[in-house]
A and B are shown apart, each in its own frame.
Chain A
Amino acid sequence: MEPEPFPDFLDPAPSDGPEYVLHLYITGATPNSTRAVRNIKDICEQHLKGRYELLIIDIYQQPELAQEQDLIGVPTLIKQRPGLVRRMVGDLSDRERVLKVLGIVSALPDSSDDAPAHE
């Protein structure tokens, strides 16, 4: 409930890097993973153009990261910044939910009101 107000205050401070840092962990070219890559790229391009850094990591290539990042379900998108670290499991096809968790105010005013209220 609390975390959402913070990003607004913290946002201006780390101006040295991109506003959004997202890590997407995938497993090779499985259907879920390819869908997830496509979806996150869409979202970023649509809502965060120029304000984000997206890192796509294939844990087949770096299996040690699976334990470090405590991954269970794959694909997992970890929002490192802004605000608290949040995890999303799945192919990111539930766009509404992804946007909510990322704290992105969507174009629609209704959903922008909903987002802070819920989280």
Chain B
Amino acid sequence: MQENTTSQHPALPTLPKSPTGIEGLDEITEGGLPQGRPTLICGSAGCGKTLLGVEFLVRGIQDYGEPGVLMAFEETGEELAANVASLGFDLKDLQERKLLRVDHVHVDRSEIEETGEYDLEGLFIRLGYAIDSIGAKRVVLDTIESLFSGFPNQAVLRSEIRRLFRWLKDRGVTTVITAERGDGSLTRQGLEEYVSDCVILLDNRVIDQITTRRLRIVKYRGSTHGTNEYPYLITADGISVLPVTSLKLEHTVSSNIVSTGIPALDDMFGLRGFYQGSSVLVTGTAGTAKTTLAAAFADKICAEGQRCLFFAFEESPMQLTRNMASVGIDLQRHVTSGLLRIEASRPTLNGLEQHLVTLHRLVKEFQPDAVVIDPITNLITVGNISEVRSMLTRLIDFLKVSNITAFFTALISGRGQQQEMTDEGVSSLVDTWISVRDLEGIGERNRGLSILKSRGMAHSNQVREFIVTSHGIELLDVVLGPTGIVTGASRLAQQLEEHAQALATQQETERRDRELERRRRVLEANIANLRTEFESVEEELRQMTSDEQTRQQALATGKQRMAAAHHLPATPGAPATGESGQ
């Protein structure tokens, strides 16, 4: 059989697969179960083997138009129908519409007498007839090993079951066979796993009083598949397998910016907020106002008419709204308007997977624009670190793909711990990481906020002190002291000192100004004096000049007169003057 299947593969670029329609399973199997081949589902009691089989059939009918046959060896048709009715599977209706055939095979050792050689042709004929009557493409055999309890002749059974698998392959029906898990082997008979082309192992484990169901694909001939153990749940809608991530990082991104809800904090981001659809982590020690930051964010989201889903793992909705009202964040009005939904539950209420599913369900139901989880740290109480990490990875991934802004808070335990490490190790997964911490100084504690990272935008590198006031969170201006940033009372002292210094400087300046003014005035007065003096000197000089001129003129006139007297006879006019001179 091995040779047979492998020899077929080169001809097939990809193995044809039948999607199961079961949430998550098709992702792990990369498309579904091998089409036209048998798949074994094995697991211990209470794993949901039958349910998985039934869901495979029902989803096949409802979603893919492939009728199915259910051959039940353990439960009657009525019992099965009743068991899965709560999941919304109406087997009776499907049977009436000739899309499903349920055949209960009753095997009772006490009713069967072996009287010689036989084969299981009866089973083949039943199955063949059931398949032909509705044109089935899918078959579920639940649980075939019941035959072993009814028929003591193992040799015949084993060869017949082998033949059955071959026969099912030849019929080209996609088959799911369920089997109980055996000791040290996948099945009790150690047979089915070898003749199946795909083996899926279901497991039900209790660790620290918390049950987690896990699914693993043990083998898948001719196809790659996820090899990890994937947690799965039996929910109200059937089985839900949660792959760790969607396995790809291909989500579309938004360039829209979402405000942090605190204007001063917005200023610390280059683009004034977070990218929509990004994930934000706020870490801090106890009492560093993480919840308040979260509430401020939620408040802002709702104030802009968007929807926010708030998961509170520590406080009840009433307590949360009351406490936030005390710092001026009115969440109640958003709750009333339906924009905010607060989901409070104890982390210990459910296993991690259940939390994740609840979250998925609520997100799908409420269609929020932002999700707040306060705090993620508490989930550690219901799982170990690696489980929480994988759960958070899946959660962040899911929210990112849905373009929902995620806001988580996380408690960092212990002071002096490496601040760049969260207990859950999710810090590398988030896009924006804000750290709030106690800045313990002399005799007091103050809160400091800094941005450790913010993917895709510039951000402030400062540690800002912030205070929680009755009207929200306020970031204070950075005060630098001689030994670095100062906070609290030292900050006030520093501010006072600076104020005094500034005052002194100002007074000094004023004094200097006044002095200058005075000197200016003195100089100006001097200038005026000098000018007056200059004027009088000038006048005197002018007077002297004028006198001189007059004198010169008089002199000149005198000389002319004298010259005229000497030259009297020479000139006709002279006798008169000469006469008068005599």
Residues of A in contact with B (beta carbons under 8 Å apart):
25, 27, 30, 32, 35-36, 39, 59-60, 63-64, 66-67, 70-77, 86-94, 97-98, 101
Contacts and interface: CB of A to CB of B under 8 A. Distances in A.
B115 interface: yes
Query: Can you list the 6 inter-chain pairs with the closest CB atoms, starting with the nearest?
Result: A71-B122, A90-B116, A93-B116, A63-B129, A91-B116, A90-B115
A89 B126 contact: no
A27 B121 contact: yes
B121 A63 contact: no
Contacts of A27: 121-122, 125
Contacts of B128: 63
B536 to A, nearest CB: 144
The majority secondary structure among interface residues of chain B is: mixed
Contact of B118 (A32, A39, A64, A97): A32
Nearest to A77: B115
Given A72-B150, A73-B151, A74-B120, A91 B125 contact: no
Interface in B392-423: none
Contacts of B111: 86-87
B125 A63 contact: yes
Nearest to B151: A73
B107 interface: yes
A74 B118 contact: yes
B112 interface: yes
Interface string B88-121: 0000000000000001011100011111111111
Contacts of B150: 72
A73 B115 contact: no
Contact of B119 (A74, A86, A101): A74
Interface residues of B, number: 25
Contacts of B527: none
B173 to A, nearest CB: 16
A63 to B, nearest CB: 4
Contacts of B342: none
Nearest to B127: A66
Interface string B489-502: 00000000000000
B123 interface: yes
Contacts of A75: 118
B147 interface: yes
B52 interface: no
Given A66-B126, A73-B151, A32 B117 contact: yes
B566 to A, nearest CB: 180
B122 A35 contact: no
B122 A66 contact: yes
Contacts of A71: 122-123, 125-126
Contacts of B112: 73, 87-89
Nearest to A96: B115
A63 B107 CA distance: 19
Interface of B: 103, 105-107, 111-123, 125-126, 128-130, 147, 150-151
Given A72-B107, A72-B150, A36 B122 contact: no
A59 B113 contact: no
29 contacts: A30-B119, A32-B116, A32-B117, A36-B116, A59-B122, A60-B125, A67-B129, A70-B105, A70-B106, A71-B122, A71-B125, A72-B120, A72-B122, A72-B147, A73-B151, A74-B119, A74-B121, A74-B125, A86-B111, A89-B118, A90-B115, A90-B116, A91-B117, A91-B118, A92-B115, A97-B113, A97-B115, A101-B113, A101-B115
Nearest to A26: B121
Given A59-B122, A73-B151, A67 B116 contact: no
Contacts of A92: 115-116
Given A30-B121, A86-B113, A93-B115, 15 more contacts: A32-B119, A35-B116, A71-B125, A72-B120, A72-B122, A72-B123, A73-B121, A73-B122, A74-B122, A89-B114, A90-B114, A90-B117, A91-B115, A97-B115, A101-B113
A64 B133 CA distance: 10
A60 B115 CA distance: 22
B223 to A, nearest CB: 33
B465 to A, nearest CB: 79
A76 B113 CA distance: 9
A32 B107 CA distance: 21
B126 A63 contact: yes
Nearest to B147: A72
